[in-house]
Amino acid sequence: MRVDKKNQMDKKSMLQLNSIFLAPYMQLSTELIGKARHAGGNMFRHQIDTLGILIDYGYIDSVLLKASVVHDVIEDIEGFDPNRIINTDEDGEDVYRLVLEVTKRPGEKKPDFLRRIIDTGSQKAKILKCADRISNMISLGFVTDPKFIERYCDETEVYLLPIAIEVDFNMYQELINLIITRRKYLEDSGYIEKKKAGLI
């Protein structure tokens, strides 16, 4: 369920959000605290950022929010036992299935992974992936590698914008703004000019 962001959360929606018990899922995701991110910080903070973005956009579906808190545990914790998600609560099986949808499979290339979400991902998987990418794009402001920023912007334009335009126009607009600002940084830093001149 999504709340109309223009009207903020009404009392019924706040009560619904209040009834979602996230603590056991947050406990699982604390194992990501030691996993550093390219932009600084750690993977646990990224899970919480993704949760916050979903709530900010008015999503209060229990499975979606629970999955956001653990969406990277299978991919980033070696030997993670899926039963730890499945057996968490009554939503565990649905949460696990959603996490699998947004998890890169062993040997799966990134473009193939993103194309899979575009072609066969559920509505919830697409919404979760958009929130995940918004968090990642915001973090690019702390990345110093211009080639990484350029690649990530290109990837977002090719794969994430088609997902976002399908599921949430406001997320689509935010992703466009993030791409624009990150590319402006590359231009202002002289990276684009040096690349055109063949110096990079």
The two tokens of residue 35 are 């996993």
Partners of 180 in beta bridges: none
Q: Which CATH superfamily, name and number, covers 5-196?
A: Hypothetical protein af1432 (1.10.3210.10)
Q: What integer pLDDT is reported at residue 8 of this predicted model?
A: 63
- Give residue limits of the domains in the chain: 5-196
Read off the pLDDT of residues 184-196 as tens digits, 9 standing for 90 and up. Answer: 999 999 998 988 8
CA distance 5 to 192: 37
Read off the pLDDT of residues 130-159 as tens digits, 9 standing for 90 and up. Answer: 999 999 999 987 777 899 999 999 999 999
Read off the pLDDT of residues 57-91 as tens digits, 9 standing for 90 and up. Answer: 999 999 999 999 999 999 999 999 999 999 999 99
CA distance 121 to 125: 6
